[in-house]
Each structure stands twice: as C-alpha cells, then as structure tokens.
Amino acid sequence: MTTRRALAVLAGALVVALAGCAMPATGGSTPTPTVADSRPLAELDLLADPRAHVGASTAVMASEAIEPIETDPVQTLPATVVSQDPNGDVEVTVDDASRVLGIDMSGSIAATVWGLGLGENLVGRDISTTFPGTEELPVVTSGGHAINAESILALRPSVIVTDGSIGPRDVLTQLREAGIDVVFVGDDPSFAGAAQLARDVAAALGVVPTGELLAERIAADVEAKVAEIAAIAPTAEADRVRMIFLYLRGGSGIYYLFGEESGAGDLIRGLGGVDVAGEIGWTGLKPMTDEAIIAANPDLILVMTSGLESAGGVDALLAAKPAIALTAAGQHQRFVDMADGDILSFGPRSAAVLDALARAVYAPAD
C-alpha cells in the first residue's frame, strides 16, 4: 500500500468514527469569508506583511464548477488497463463505461470524470463530490467515507474507478466478484498527481486522448497560477509565510499534522509559503504533539472548514490546545479554512483551489 493510500485510509477512518460530531463555530474569531473575484491577484489589496496579519479567513473558490475539456468524447472500448490494486497490480478490461462510479476520499476522481466530459455517465457519488451538476446523484458512502455495497449495487454501475482511499476493501472485492469492473488508479496527492489521474481515469474509460488534453490543461493552469502567486508572495525566505496543515476533529480530541507525502506540502509550496512540516522532517499524517507544534511555530495554519467548526471555532481551539496558542499563528489567530471537499482535492480544480487560498493568505477580506 502506498503512503498516500495509508494516509487516506487513516483519515477516512477518522471521519467515519467521528461522523456527526461537528458543532457550530463559536467565539469571537469566526473566519471572514474570502470570495474570489475576477481581478488578478496582483490587483488585490495585498497585505504589506502577510506574516503579521491578525485574524482568520475562509478560502472560497470563485466557482465550484468544472469545465469539461471536451463535450461527449468518443470512447474506445473495450479498454484494458492495469489496476493498481492494494494487494498488487492486476489487469482489468472495461467493456462498458456508460454507468460510471468514481469514488475516493477527496472527490477528485468524480471531478476528473466530469473534466473528461463524461459527467453524464456518473450514476452516483461519494460524500466529497459536491461540485455543480452532481447534487442529484445518490451518495454511496455512509458514515463519512465508508462504502455502502447495497447502495452501489442498486445503481448498477458498469465500472467503478477508485484509488483505495475509501473502503472497506473487501466490499470492493465483492463488487468485482458481482461482475462490476473495478479499477484502482494511482493516489499521488500532488499537482503532478492530478495530471496523471486524468490520464489514468481516461484510460479506464476509453478516452485516452481526452485524458492527455485534460492533464495538459491541469498542468498549465497550475503552472500559471503558481507563477501568479509567486509574483505577490514575499521573495526572501525569511519573509515567506510559514504554514502547516492541521486536521481537526475537536469534539473527539483528534489533531493530526499533515506532513510530506500527504499533499499539504505541495499545496503550501504552490502558495509560496514555507512547508514547516517538511522543514522539521514530519512525514505522512501523525498525531500532533505539543512539542511538534511549538517547534514548528507556524505563522499560518491551514484547516478544513468542518474541522475548525468541530473544535468550536478559533477561540475554542486555542483555549483547548494552549500549545497552538503559543505559536505565531495562535497569537495572531491566523487560520485559513476551506471546504473539506476542496482544500486537498487535487484534480481539474487544482489551480482554482490555489487561487482561493492565495486570496485568503495574501489579501483576506476585512
């Protein structure tokens, strides 16, 4: 099992165990929504010193919509691909891709199917798939990110594309034994991984040329956005914003730091920040310790919106975890939250996620 898959399974297990524990944010430091507009980043009211800003903010994409790279692409089937199964690669031949179920923890696979122009082929969705056009699709995950076999069978999918980040795994095995083609694709949480995901999903659905077009668009969009962010971010290392990604489920006392290989580092570097977890050698997803958070001493902490809500908001979080309050981010109440289904959803909207976060980091709303 890859490191990413292990991290995703662990995070999914946490969500399953803690489903429904979120509570409304309280206290005087509720994040201020930052809504993207049509202006280039350089034309925004940028902070003179983004490390010294006081207050929390919410990153919101200008649009959640995904624009397909092609309309109704021609599918060439049957398509034989190598499925990256958890227990080893196997060859799978997909004969019918008219009824597709793309499921993973972040919603990236369904987003990729949509980006390929095959949105009308989707018959269901995971709980993280919330972009426009999917609202009426039935949810096939229950209790957070656990697969509901009965719900899936009722939809009669011809092919399931997943990355192993949700389970139980034996359910997927049962679905394959029931005659449904199940294809496991790679699970690299990075911008390069988002482009490769487009190729892998396209291969499984018989639209290889379309996948290459989508991969090229994702890479080009991310490259352009990273360059745009670099133009407004501090250039001196000492002035760059020191960031970490903290996974919160405050109601049950769950605090995890996301390190290298979790996707957080790629996101932070794309934002022109310093990946503090990488700097202190934090790899994967591990429980936060007081010593680690104090040693990291971030200027800014990235969080999922529901995670911050589950902790009761910024004030309640700082009261519950004095070690966080001792950091520069804690002293400045410098948190940037973003919807759970967006912030680490590497896929067709990668550049849009970066754009929204950059606005919240460098030009937060008053």
Are 200 and 186 contacting, i.e. CB atoms less than 8 angstroms apart? yes
322 preceded by a cis bond (ω within 30 of 0): no
Residues 6+ apart with CB under 8 A from 290: 322, 323
Quote the pLDDT of residue 251. 74
3-state DSSP percent of the chain in helix, strand and coil, to 5: 40, 20, 40
Question: What is the dotted CATH code of the domain comprising 79-219?
Answer: 3.40.50.1980
Cα–Cα distance list, 110 to 160, 327, 348 (Å): 10, 38, 10
Where helices occur in the chain by DSSP H, the ranges are 3-17, 108-115, 149-155, 169-177, 191-204, 208-232, 264-270, 276-279, 290-296, 305-310, 314-320, 322-326, 328-331, 340-343, 350-362
| 3 CB burial (10 A radius; 0-12, 13-18, 19+) | middle
Are 232 and 245 contacting, i.e. CB atoms less than 8 angstroms apart? no
Helix axes 191-204, 208-232, angle to 10 degrees: 170
Quote the pLDDT of residue 28. 41
Q: In this structure, are strands 300-304 and 335-338 parallel, antiparallel, or unpaired?
A: parallel
Quote the pLDDT of residue 279. 83
Portions of the chain given CATH number 3.40.50.1980: 3-65+235-362, 79-219
Beta bridge partners of residue 162, listed in sequence order: 103, 184
Q: Which residue is listed with tokens 């910024």?
A: 314
Each residue's pLDDT tens digit in the chain (366 positions)? 343 444 444 444 444 333 333 333 334 444 555 555 678 999 999 999 999 999 999 999 999 999 999 999 999 999 999 999 998 999 999 999 999 999 998 899 999 999 999 999 999 999 889 999 999 999 998 766 789 888 999 999 999 999 988 888 889 999 999 999 999 999 888 999 999 999 999 999 999 999 999 999 999 999 999 999 999 999 999 999 999 999 998 777 889 988 776 789 999 999 999 999 888 777 667 888 899 899 899 999 999 999 999 999 999 999 999 999 999 999 999 999 999 889 988 999 999 999 999 999 999 986
Quote the pLDDT of residue 31. 54
Residues 6+ apart with CB under 8 A from 179: none
Q: Assign 362 to helix, strand or coil.
A: helix
Q: What is the DSSP letter of 125?
A: B
Are 296 and 276 contacting, i.e. CB atoms less than 8 angstroms apart? yes
Residues 6+ apart with CB under 8 A from 310: 18, 21, 22, 23, 248, 249, 250, 251
Are 306 and 337 contacting, i.e. CB atoms less than 8 angstroms apart? no
User: Can you spell out the DSSP letters for 185-202?
Assistant: -----SHHHHHHHHHHHH
Give the integer Cα–Cα distance in Å for 352 and 197. Answer: 17
Cα–Cα distance list, 229 to 43, 262, 278, 307 (Å): 12, 22, 21, 26
3-65+235-362 domain in CATH 3.40.50.1980? Answer: yes
Convert 190-222 to b/e letters by CB count within 10 Å (16 or more is b): bbebbbbbbbbbbbbbbbbebbbbbbebbbebb
Q: What is the DSSP letter of 346?
A: -
Round the CA-based radius of gyration of the chain to a whole number and report it.
20
Other beta carbons within 10 Å of 269: 16
Nearest to 354 by CA among 289, 294, 268: 268
CA 120 to mean position of chain CA atoms = 23
